Structure formats: structure tokens, C-alpha cells
């Protein structure tokens, strides 16, 4: 039965990676007969979430082999599944694990793999952006099925379906051969983080070189805390300078965010930064240079010295929330 599949990263407890929910939402708008593939501990628990976002069928296995040995086992299992069921298209989120699986699957299927997809118009027709997001390119995907597509982060919005039925569960019974179990994950490090993830926060407060000194990022943290459900981000300039870790970087070579509100503080607005945040619903910019390019995308621009104005903004937000 052809159709669109979504490869969904899951974790114990049944949490589904946000990008898989975004892919399911997009996929069901093109073809209602969407299937999800979830491999590894938590897959069975994830079925109801997958259904809520549009999966009609869920191929699942809770076997730890799919996470203990990096991407070789899931790519192998996925290959067996696509050979048997022949979907037209498999969508992958942009996470490291998903990209690893997609690349390995392509080597086995010999089909077309397109990455950084910003929109999907049909199972064989996609769009991407080039030149720092200034040009949109249409791409026809040819060659044998399944086409393989890795979407750009936050290209689509995840939306649950009202009253969605439980998906049909198809157990995956693939025996992974010993030669695909040689690489073994020996340890996992979870990054310590307070507050929401940068990619999921409703408000992002981001800082650039205009903050003058790494210690001034404290002001952004205070502002994020005062707002609530907000995360702190940064430009590459300050990441490269070692002020903050790379995990905070937003832009072409960092993360893509799409919050309700993006507050850019001391950020010039280089194309490579804009490409990772310009889809925010509202953009507020604080910059002492009235000609800074960030003001061209800002809904609200404040021409001011960030170090002078931030304490006032923090106090105003705290007062507004208290009252
Ligand atoms: P600057 O450009 O130096 O801007 C600092 C701003 O602060 C200025 O506008 C200044 O007017 C303002 N300012 C100074 N003092 C104050 C003050 N007291 N109060 C208020 N405002 C003040 N960049 C990214 O961010 N993300 C990426 O992923 C990324 N990828 C890249 C990939 C490539 C291949 C290349 C070539 C570049 C990439 N860059 C990326 C770098 C990008 O081109 C810019 O250099 C970078 O975004 C600039 O960071 P910035 O705005 O912090 O610094």
C-alpha cells in the first residue's frame, strides 16, 4: 500500500521527537493514509501520540537494539519495511539520529534523498531555500520509490487532529544481524538545562556581540525568567567567541526557531542569523544602531543601548506579571 511514512524518533515513556509530529502534520495534509515508524524503547507507548498527529498505521518495535547500536539497526529495519510495503515517500526530521538513518537507508534503496526541505507539495515535489533563505527552489524528486526527504527544522507546525482514531499497530519483527551491532552506544549525556528547549520555547531572548561581555548574558537569562516559558539564544559571533555554548546558536549553522516572540538584543541581523529566526511570529529588536539590518525584519524596534535598557525591560515585565 503506497503512501507517506514518517520516521519518528521516540524515547522511553513514549515521547515523540517534535520534528516527527511536524512531519506527520504535513504528511496528512497531502495523503491521509500516513504511517509512522517508531523503533526502540518507548515505541509502543508513543502510538497514541503518533495517532493524534495523523498516523493511521504505526510500525513499532520496543527492541533496545534500535538505540543501542546507533543508526545501522533502524536503517536495516526500515529498509526491510519499505521493501515489503513500498511507500512513496519517507519523511525524516533533522535530528542527528534521523539524518543518520536516512543516509544509510538511501545507500540501500538507491532512491533520491533530499535534505533541508522547507515545504512539501506532493510526495515527489518539494521546496527548499537557498542563498541564506532569500530564494525558494522547487525540486521534482525522480527515481525509484521511496523518495527520502529530510525536512528543515520548524518547516511545519505540529497540530493534533481532533478525535483522531488509534492507529493500526504493526509490530516490526526484523532480526538485526550481528555485523550491524558492532558500533555500540556506551554512554549518553543529557545537557543540563533549565526552562524550555530553545526550539520549543514560546519566547526566545537572543543576544549578540552588542552585549559587549559574556557576563551580560545574565541579563537575557533574567529577562527570559521574568517572561516565563522563554529560552535564551545567541548569534554565531558570540558562540565563536566562547561566550555561550554552541547549543544556543541560532541561524544557518545553528538552530532554527519559530517562537511567538523573538527578542534580538545587540544583534546586527546578518542573513545567516535571520534564516534561523525570521519565521518568528513577532520580532522585537534592541540595537543602538538605527540602521542595523535587524530592524528590517522587526515588528518593534528599540534604538537604545541594550545594557542600559535591559534592566528597565526586566523590571517592567516583572511588574506587569506581578500585577
Ligand atoms: P555583529 O554583527 O557584530 O553585531 C553586533 C550588533 O550589536 C551591531 O548591530 C551593533 O550595532 C549592536 N550593538 C553594539 N553595542 C550595542 C549596545 N550596547 N546595545 C545595543 N546594540 C549594540 N551567524 C549566526 O548568528 N548564526 C549562524 O548560524 C551563522 N552561520 C554562519 C555561516 C556562515 C557560512 C557564515 C559565513 C557566517 C555565519 N554567521 C552566523 C555569522 C554572521 O554572518 C554574523 O557574523 C553574525 O550573525 C553576527 O553576530 P552579531 O549580530 O552578534 O554581531
Q: Kindly report the three-state secondary structure assignment for every residue of the chain.
A: CCCEEEEECEECCCEECHHHHHHHHHHHHHCCCEEEEEECCCCCCCHHHHHHCCEEEEEEECCCHHHHCCCHHHHHHHHHHHHHHCCCEEEECCCHHHHHHHHHHHHHHCCCEEEEEEEEEECCEEEEEECCCCEEEEEECCCCCCEEEEECCCCCCCCCCCCCCCCEEEECCCCCCHHHCCCCCCCCCCCCCCCCCCCCCCEEEEECHHHCCHHHHHHHHHHHHHHCCEEEEECHHHHHCCCCCHHHEECCCCECCCCCEEEEECCCCCHHHHCCCCCCCEEEEEECCCCCCHHHHCCEEEECCHHHHHHHHHHHHHHHHHC
- Check residue 188 and give its pLDDT: 83
Please give the residue that has the higher pLDDT: either 233 or 253.
Answer: 233
**Mean pLDDT, residues 205-216:** 98
Confirm or reject: Cβ of 233 under 6 Å from ligand 1.
Answer: no
**Over 90: is that where the pLDDT of 303 sits?**
yes
Confirm or reject: Cβ of 19 under 6 Å from ligand 1.
Answer: no
- Check residue 131 and give its pLDDT: 81
Ligand 1 atom 16: residue of nearest CA: 210
Strands 300-303 and 282-287: parallel
- Check residue 154 and give its pLDDT: 85
Residues 277 and 264: their CA atoms lie apart, in Å, by 10
Confirm or reject: Cβ of 297 under 6 Å from ligand 1.
Answer: no
Confirm or reject: Cβ of 127 under 6 Å from ligand 1.
Answer: no
- Check residue 1 and give its pLDDT: 57
- 8 A C-beta contact, residue 110 and residue 146: no
Sequence-distant (6+) residues with CB within 8 A of 307 are 211, 212, 216, 219
Distance set, CA 208 to CA 241, 295, 305 (Å)? 11, 14, 13
- Check residue 202 and give its pLDDT: 96
pLDDT band at 133 (very low <50, low <70, confident <90, very high): confident
Phi first, then psi: what are they for 26, rounded to 5°?
-65, -45
Instruction: Using the atom order of ligand 1, give the atom closest to the CA of residue 234.
Output: 25
Confirm or reject: Cβ of 87 under 6 Å from ligand 1.
Answer: no
Q: How many C-beta atoms surround the C-beta of residue 121 within 10 A?
A: 12
pLDDT band at 38 (very low <50, low <70, confident <90, very high): very high
**Over 80: is that where the pLDDT of 144 sits?**
yes
Mean of all residue pLDDT scores within the chain: 95
- Check residue 323 and give its pLDDT: 79
60-79 pLDDT tens trace: 999 999 999 999 999 999 99
% of residues, the chain, pLDDT over 90: 90
Cis peptide before 8 (omega within 30 of 0): no
pLDDT band at 210 (very low <50, low <70, confident <90, very high): very high
186-207 pLDDT tens trace: 998 877 777 888 988 999 999 9
**Over 90: is that where the pLDDT of 8 sits?**
yes
- Check residue 298 and give its pLDDT: 98
Counting Cα atoms < 13 Å in the Cβ hemisphere of 298 gives 20
Ligand 1 atom 39: residue of nearest CA: 272
- Check residue 190 and give its pLDDT: 76
- Check residue 2 and give its pLDDT: 65
Residues 231 and 248: their CA atoms lie apart, in Å, by 9
Q: How many C-beta atoms surround the C-beta of residue 268 within 10 A?
A: 18
Beta bridge partners of 19: none
Confirm or reject: Cβ of 118 under 6 Å from ligand 1.
Answer: no
Among the listed ranges 42-51, 86-95, 124-133, 227-236, which one has the minimum average pLDDT value?
124-133
- Check residue 13 and give its pLDDT: 95
**Mean pLDDT, residues 227-239:** 96
Amino acid at each position: 500500500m503506497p503512501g507517506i511514512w514518517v520516521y519518528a524518533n521516540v524515547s522511553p515513556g513514549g515521547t515523540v521527537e517534535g520534528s516527527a509530529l511536524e512531519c506527520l502534520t504535513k504528511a496528512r495534509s497531502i495523503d491521509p493514509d500516513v504511517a509512522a515508524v517508531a523503533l526502540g524503547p518507548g515505541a509502543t507507548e508513543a502510538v497514541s501520540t503518533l495517532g493524534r498527529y495523523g498516523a493511521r498505521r504505526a510500525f513499532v518495535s520496543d527492541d533496545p537494539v534500535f538505540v543501542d547500536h546507533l543508526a545501522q539497526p533502524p536503517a536495516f529495519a526500515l529498509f526491510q519495511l519499505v521493501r515489503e510495503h513500498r511507500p512513496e515517500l519517507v519523511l525524516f526530521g533533522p535530528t542527528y539520529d534521523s539524518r543518520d538513518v536516512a543516509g544509510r537507508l538511501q545507500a540501500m534503496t538507491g532512491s533520491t534523498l533530499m535534505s533541508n526541505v522547507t515545504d512539501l507539495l506532493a510526495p515527489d515535489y518539494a521546496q527548499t531555500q537557498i542563498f541564506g533563505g532569500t530564494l525558494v527552489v522547487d525540486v521534482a524528486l525522480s527515481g525509484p520509490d521511496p523518495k527520502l526527504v529530510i525536512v528543515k527544522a520548524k518547516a511545519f507546525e505540529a497540530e493534533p487532529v481532533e478525535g483522531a482514531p488509534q492507529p493500526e499497530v504493526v509490530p516490526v519483527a526484523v532480526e538485526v544481524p550481528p555485523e550491524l551491532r558492532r558500533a555500540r552506544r556506551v554512554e549518553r549525556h543529557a545537557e543540563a538545562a533549565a526552562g524550555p528547549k530553545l526550539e520549543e520555547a514560546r519566547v526566545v531572548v537572543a543576544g549578540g556581540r552588542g552585549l559587549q561581555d559574556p557576563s551580560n548574558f545574565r541579563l537575557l537569562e533574567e529577562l527570559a525568567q521574568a517572561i516565563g516559558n522563554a529560552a535564551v539564544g545567541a548569534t554565531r559571533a558570540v558562540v565563536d567567541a566562547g561566550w555561550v555554548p554552541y547549543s544556543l546558536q541560532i541561524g544557518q549553522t545553528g538552530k532554527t526557531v519559530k517562537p511567538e516572540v523573538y527578542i534580538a538584543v545587540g544583534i546586527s541581523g546578518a542573513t545567516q542569523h535571520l534564516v534561523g529566526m525570521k519565521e518568528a511570529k513577532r520580532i522585537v529588536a534592541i540595537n543602538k544602531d538605527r540602521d542595523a539590518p535587524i530592524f528590517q525584519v522587526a515588528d518593534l524596534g528599540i534604538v537604545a543601548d541594550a545594557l542600559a535598557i535591559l534592566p528597565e525591560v526586566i523590571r517592567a515585565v516583572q511588574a506587569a506579571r506581578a500585577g
